[in-house]
Amino acid sequence: MKKAVILSSGGIDSTTAVAIAKAENYELYSLTLDYGQRHKIEIESAKKAADFFCVKEHKIIVIGLGEIGGSALTDNIDVPTDDTSGEIPVTYVPARNTIFLSIALAWAEVVGANDIFIGANVVDYSGYPDCRPKYLEAFENLANLGTKAGIKGKKIKIYAPLLRMSKAEIIKKGIELGIDYSITSSCYNPRTGSKACGKCDSCKFRLKGFMEAGYKDPIKYST
């Protein structure tokens, strides 16, 4: 059976990426990073997703990006609720996808997986530079230049199956594949009782996606 390492944050996009990989008959190795994020509830959602899809192995690795800071998700910076500046938002975590994909790449070599799935998206997203197609292509080239697997001709492929889908299209695809989105978490600033804030960019994209898809969001909001 072909194997895939899937970056799983417990959100809509990564959970849908897991579902797609499962539907394509991969043996699933789910990878979640505890990087010092303020919204640690997403790690519990990633565990639920791993159980839901009966993955072969779910690995949670702790890395200290909070020691670097520089992001509203890892530092003492408020999560914005009305950022209309057009700039890359303060929820951007410096080099996050490069770090995450590097760890996924290392694990892929160990388990013998040639394929790495990531839920990156360039339609309904916040403008993060490490979600762009050119970035993913560049990382794939790096992966094949800098690994034993790549040198031996076992080509590493970075799959971003949701890259050009709207959030509504992603939700429809996930529901078609049988996902229970109540197990997912998207909020950058969850409130007491693990309710989503409903105000951060991530919540807004999620709510917009469910509305446009014609479904009710099954998670709870504080507003």
Q: What is the pLDDT, as a whole number, of residue 191?
A: 77
Residues in contact with 164: Cβ distance below 8 Å, sequence separation at least 6, in sequence order: 121, 122, 123
- Taking a C-beta distance cutoff of 8 angstroms, is the pair 74, 93 a contact? yes
Task: Tally the domains of the chain.
Answer: 1
Whether residue 66 is contained in a domain is answered as: yes
Q: What is the pLDDT, as a whole number, of residue 193?
A: 64
- 146-172 residue pLDDT tens: 999 999 999 999 999 999 999 999 999
* Dihedral angle over CA of 129, 203, 37, 142, nearest 10: -30
Q: What is the pLDDT, as a whole number, of residue 84?
A: 64
Whether residue 71 is contained in a domain is answered as: yes
CATH number for the domain harbouring residue 8: 3.40.50.620
- Taking a C-beta distance cutoff of 8 angstroms, is the pair 32, 8 a contact? yes
Mean model confidence pLDDT for the chain: 94
Residue range of the domain that includes 44: 3-179
Per-residue pLDDT of the chain (223 residues; tens, 9 = 90+): 899 999 999 999 999 999 999 999 999 999 999 999 989 999 999 999 999 999 999 999 999 999 999 999 999 999 988 866 678 999 999 999 999 999 999 999 999 999 999 999 998 777 899 999 999 999 999 999 999 999 999 999 999 999 999 999 999 999 999 999 999 999 999 976 679 999 999 999 999 999 999 999 999 998 7
Q: What is the pLDDT, as a whole number, of residue 23?
A: 98
Query: CB neighbours (10 Å) of residue 23?
Result: 12
Whether residue 203 is contained in a domain is answered as: no
3-state secondary structure of 39: coil
Q: What is the pLDDT, as a whole number, of residue 123?
A: 87
Whether residue 119 is contained in a domain is answered as: yes
Rounded to the nearest 10 degrees, the angle between the axes of helix 12-23 and helix 41-52 is 20
Residue ranges in the chain assigned as alpha helix (H): 12-23, 41-52, 96-111, 133-145, 148-151, 167-176, 201-213
Whether residue 196 is contained in a domain is answered as: no
Reported as type and span, the H/E element at residue 153 is none
Q: What is the pTM of this model?
A: 0.95
